[in-house]
A and B are shown apart, each in its own frame.
Chain A
């Protein structure tokens, strides 16, 4: 199993550009989520999904869109990048329900200039 994979590893965008961060898992997990990590803030939940076709907002959803057309993939779209979105983005997946380990991808380091 590859686990949770994320691409790209690094990205630099100019303000106003759009892009999609890719996330895929091969563990047949129902639940997938996106977090951003900023210095002194810990990880904050952006969006999550409990299965294909079902998504919901987390703590900091503004400026981001998600979709879940398959169990395996959960892309995160930045519609119009802003410097405040400079961060490290992590995708995670787990089985639905309590008591399961959350598996994290290696992260995407995004800089918006």
Chain B
């Protein structure tokens, strides 16, 4: 069973369009991490959210954690080809901070 559901599984957008990726848990999230992965490469840390209602931004990427701390969204504004890759959410659902459970990932393609 998948404790962390990520949607959509894949996404194709035209350059310049906005998009949103969701990460949902049935359990309280003590910490929620967003990573980006290029095919065949390691994971690049994007953002970490801990508090209910928290929102963080980096360049054109914004991540939010809902008030109940069971869902996070990652929003990309005006997508670019450099945004293409696999986006993974990882969550601390046990508390303690270290053992992460990951979603299955969202593959993003940006068409010119």
Chain A residues proximal to chain B, CB less than 8 Å: 31, 33, 35, 40-45, 48, 50, 58, 90, 94, 96-107, 109
A45 and B50 contacting across the interface, CB-CB below 8 Å: no
Distance of A112 Cα from B41 Cα, bound (Å): 20
Of B12-20, B57-65, B71-79, B101-109, the one with at least 4 CB within 8 A of chain A: B101-109
B45 and A96 contacting across the interface, CB-CB below 8 Å: no
Smallest CB–CB gap between A51 and chain B, Å? 11
B31 and A98 contacting across the interface, CB-CB below 8 Å: yes
B103 and A42 contacting across the interface, CB-CB below 8 Å: yes
Contacts of A105 in B (CB 8 A): 42
B100 and A106 contacting across the interface, CB-CB below 8 Å: no
Given contacts A48-B98, A94-B98, A101-B45, 4 further A-B contacts (CB under 8 A): A97-B98, A98-B97, A99-B31, A99-B97
Question: Is B48's CB within 8 Å of the partner chain A?
Answer: yes
Counting contact residues on chain B (CB < 8 A from A), the size range is 20 to 34
B48 and A101 contacting across the interface, CB-CB below 8 Å: yes
A98's partner among B30, B45, B88 (CB-CB below 8 A) is: B30
Q: A42-B103, A98-B95 are in contact. Are A104 and B30 (CB under 8 A)?
A: no
Question: Is B27's CB within 8 Å of the partner chain A?
Answer: no
